Amino acid sequence: MALTPKNLILFALVFCALFVYYPGLYGPFIFDDLTNITNNSLLRLNELTFSSLYEASKAGFAGPLKRPVAISTFALNYYVAGGYDAFHFKVTNIAIHSINAVLVFLLNLKLINLARQDTSPQIQLILAASVAFIWALHPINLTSVLYIVQRMTSLSTLFSLLCLLFYLSARGASSGQNGIKSIIYFIAASVSFILAIYSKENALLTPLYILLIEALFFSKQPPWSVFNALSSRIKILSTMILVALFFAVAWHAFDYAARGFGGRPFTMWERALTESRVVVFYLSLILIPRINGFGLFHDDFALSTSFIEPVTTLISFIVIAGLIITAFAVRKKQPLFALGIGLFFIGHLMESTIFPLDIAYEHRNNFPSIGIILALVSLAPRTINTKKFIASISAICLIVGGTTALRAKQWGNYQSLAFFEAEHHPNSPAIQALLSNAANQAGDIELATSAIKKAMDLDPTETAYALHYQNILAVGEKPIPQALQDATIERIKANRISPSTQLALDQIAGCLKLDPCKPLRQNYIGWISAVIEKQPKKAVFWYMRGKAQLASGNTLAALNDYQHAFDLSPLFLHPLFEIANILMLNNQWQPIPMLIEQIETANEKSRFKRYDEIEQLKTVYQHHLKNTQHSSRLK
């Protein structure tokens, strides 16, 4: 490969991305990594066959589409690494980010060529490289890279970028009357789009990016030129159909969103208001990357209750409206600026508007931040002093890259991550819980208890913190006051069962059979019974209570709870395996063949196949039969 300026830029992009993220390679799995990856036994790929990979790809449960493309890459990581080695997972994430940086460069090169055809190829290369380098090194993208589960986001970005690149190539081929080539590119764009939405659903916004590009650069070409030639009556009718379709989609989205706020500590109205400030906050982080502004969580972000509570809500709406109006006004003179602003705001339509998601996460800017950086770079005059411009961009890259490298170093181990996150966000309950867990692992029980108590005070609605507090006391051989147990039960009764609470219950259930968690057994049964009172039809909670009953020596109660769990969810196989284990341990082998048959029948209908576990169960049973036959012959 010849060392052309373009190829040198590509190599430099990959090298710089690897360099700034290297310090974070040895960091741990955290938070949602646990539920989606390390605790997800169904993605553990033990043989590399198409059928095994396909089954593993169905192990996801995030989002409406379950994100099988991203899940399959986690399964492949598990297979290649021979287990859950965070290093291998993070190397893959950095590789994806490096590829994305290359795609950002190639996409922007095409867009700049469309907008500035009178600019020399050298200047076009410099402008496209500027966008790509700033984006690749910017700390706004760190959680999309080092927070392993956010590979879902970075893969969505990767395939969305590919979709746009193929679409632009198809557009170029069609304008050159190369029909076959254009069709191939359109097919490639469609495949990329499908892969993008099955990585993460925010890729559904990609058609809107395409419409924006069409409006800015292809409005005088087919099919728009054909539309412009139509009669006024057909134009009006077509417009009415499109408006009706828009309102139908908007109503469906509104209805879908409204049904999800039942368990949230904010209303749809409050979220929509707050997101105006969140989006401006994201802008500020992109424009002025302050290291203490970034964070794994932003649950310390205050809610807006009206346009003037706080008054920054109104100011934020004015800023957003001002940017959109400005972009529209200069769309003909500065189409790249208009495109960049449009990409940013379109990119936030799904995760930063009315949908019942957590308030703020930095990874939501992985694609939208491309737009803001493009808008800034596009403000460069058509004739630039190349040396001065490159020096200015290099200085910006040193600032953003240095900040990213420093944050990556902080993410390099669990204790460092927790300490610096808590230093930057002392009023974040989730971060205090992170600090508590890190301190507990390091043996600092005093810090662990003070941090988890602070988390409980900061968020009285989150039950998980009270559960973790009791767990810390038990493992640290400290007494658990009855008042704390009573308060924990009250928290369960008064608040929603959040994903964090369910994760805490699951983690502690796995510990109950061990001596350090022995003091929690009766308390746990109290917790999970209170949870079941709130959600009696959720099978997993009956399953958890079965585990607690078994750890407490209540075998019959455990069998009843496991059976009830399976009755509630006939495709949930875990309870049947637990029943089989109890029967075999108690030397009750007669029901095992019927139980195996029941498991196999349910397994065929289940989305999550358990062939390996079934074979293991059969092997144990066959071994028992052989032993029984051998004993009979000896007699």
Rounded to an integer, what distance in angstroms lies between the CA atom of residue 460 and that of residue 481?
18
Predicted local distance difference test score (pLDDT) of residue 174: 64
User: What pLDDT is stored for residue 231 in this prediction?
Assistant: 78
Contact in structure between 164 and 86 (CB atoms under 8 Å)? no
Q: Which two tokens stand for residue 354?
A: 């009315």
pLDDT at 1: 62
Give the predicted TM-score (pTM) of the model: 0.91
pLDDT tens string 603-613:
988 877 788 88
Residue 630: its pLDDT value, please?
62
DSSP letter at 259 equals T
Instruction: Show the low-confidence residues of the chain (pLDDT under 70).
Output: 1, 173-177, 225, 630-635
Measured between alpha carbons, how far is 232 from 67 in angstroms, rounded to an integer? 44
The predicted structure's pLDDT at residue 237: 87
Res 428: pLDDT: 96
Could you give the CA distance from residue 238 to residue 115 in angstroms, rounded to a whole number?
29
The 3-state secondary structure of 466-533, one letter per residue: HHHHHHHHHHCCCCCCHHHHHHHHHHHHHCCCCHHHHHHHHHHHHHCCCHHHHHHHHHHHHHHHHHHH
pLDDT at 175: 61
What pLDDT, on a 0 to 100 scale, did the predictor assign at position 309? 94
